[in-house]
Amino acid sequence: MSNICAGIGRGQMFVLKDHIQRRREINQLYRKLMKTLPGITFHTNPNDDFNSNYWLTCIIIDPQEAGFTREELRLKMEEENIETRPLWKPMHLQPVFADCPYYGDNTEGQLFENGLCLPSGPTLTDGDIERVVNVIKKCIIKNECKKSA
């Protein structure tokens, strides 16, 4: 590791607790604002033995219930100048691993197909989060995501 990278990492340690606290607050605000929306579920702790830092707030979209796909929502967010991204592409679907054996049940494929990482940076305001949620609500209530695709 270079001295510059070490210095940046060391500097980040001073704000790490604040950043984790804010990311947990952001996750809770997303959950609160979207608790009644159909077809949207959140990644969460599997049980009380875990305490996620929620570095990313990720949702899974059920297209049958929500009325739109992950990709339709991603494109609508892009139109609104809101950056989102799909959950990570599974390794076995990446070209470099095309000839490698795969031992799975496609759980990861379904997560990639239906999962979206929402804006989660610690500098986001509550108003920023509300803006993101309002786009999702428009997709559900006014069917605006279908117009984007």
Q: For the domain that residue 143 is a member of, what is the CATH number?
A: 3.90.1150.10
Domain count, the chain: 1
Residue 100 lies in a domain: no
Q: What is the pLDDT of residue 30?
A: 98
Residue 18 lies in a domain: no
Q: Mean pLDDT in the chain?
A: 93
Residue 147 lies in a domain: yes
Residue 14 lies in a domain: no
Q: Render the burial of 71-83: b for 16+ CB within 10 Å, e for the rest.
A: bbbbbbbeeeeee
Residue 127 lies in a domain: yes
Convert the pLDDT of each residue in 125-147 to its tens digit: 999 999 999 999 999 988 888 76
Indicate whether 43 pLDDT > 90. Answer: no
Convert the pLDDT of each residue in 86-111 to its tens digit: 999 899 889 999 899 999 999 999 99
Domain with 66 in it? 29-43+56-92+106-149
pTM: predicted TM-score of the whole model, two decimal places: 0.89
